[in-house]
Structure 1
Amino acid sequence: MIQANDLRIGNFVHSVEIGNEVIINSISDEGITFKNCVTFDYPTFEDITPIPLTEEILFKCGFFYDIDSDTYKISDCTLQIDMSDFEIPDAIVFGESLRYVRHLHQLQNLFFALTGKELEVKR
């Protein structure tokens, strides 16, 4: 389950009810709504799950693989993701600090916090 304070409008998550990836459109006390999706009730935070980061998702976000450092990088910001030992990333390096990010919404939030820009995710 994802906590409400971990989400922002525009985050990608997986909807258990719909069975697919959705984009958060609104967050309220009553629940959440999804962009371009109609649901009968407000989905709750128990109705969504995080999307694990994979190489495919990183490429959809504009990352490229740097063979010299065995990391994934993005040009808008100096983020390096080391996936050499794991199926999913263990940490993102930003300058001298590490941030542990394993899900797409966490990567979106970190990118926004560092750049002030939304991370574009191609579908």
Structure 2
Amino acid sequence: METNEVRIGNYIMDKKDENIEYVYLIHDLGDLVYINDLHPDVCIPIPLDEEWLLKFGFFSSDLVRYDPNDESHEQFEYTLDSGISHRAFICKPSKGWVVKLGNYDDELEIKYVHQLQNLFFALKGKELT
């Protein structure tokens, strides 16, 4: 995990004890960047999954819930009532989670919780809570 991708307000995981950490402090020591009081080697990104989407307030616009083993569905769609409804958040089993940007040919792959938080902040100027 690159420490330059992390902002205060992001969620990360401490791989030693697998605790979810809320980033409240970033120490830049020149050659090392500590997150909270954690050495950068123990900080790992949290994989984005349906559970995290639901925690952030997303809901499925489809009656079919996401199942990573379901090969029959082309995609699963989630939305968030946040003022960015023109952005569709979609899971394609073959590609993972993607955000549709404007034109339906433009999509951005999102693998981790902090990436979704950063994208939301860039679009809305506020934290995704």
**TM-score, normalising length: structure 2:** 0.76
Equivalent residue number for residue 7 of structure 1: 6
Report the identity percentage.
33
User: Unaligned 5+ residue runs, structure 2?
Assistant: 64-74
Q: TM-score, normalised by structure 1?
A: 0.79
Structure 2 equivalent of residue 73 of structure 1: 79
Structure 2 residue 103 is the aligned partner of structure 1 residue 108: no
Report the CA distance shift for 1:99/1:84 in structure 2 as closer, same or farther (over 3 A). closer
| Paired AA for residue 44 in structure 1 | H
- Deviating runs (4+, > 4 A) in structure 1? none
- Where do 5+ consecutive residues of structure 1 fail to align? 34-41
Alignment of 1:1-123 (within 5 A): 2-30=1-29, 31-33=34-36, 42-67=37-62, 70-76=76-82, 77-78=84-85, 79-86=87-94, 88-89=96-97, 91-96=98-103, 97-120=106-129
Quick check: 1:12–1:51 contact (8 Å CA) kept in 2? Answer: yes
SS at match of 1:62: coil
Q: How many pairs were matched up?
A: 110
Q: 1:63 to 1:86 in 2, by over 3 A?
A: farther
- Structure ID, larger Rg: 2
> Aligned-pair RMSD on alpha carbons?
2.0
The secondary structure found in structure 1 opposite 2:38 is coil
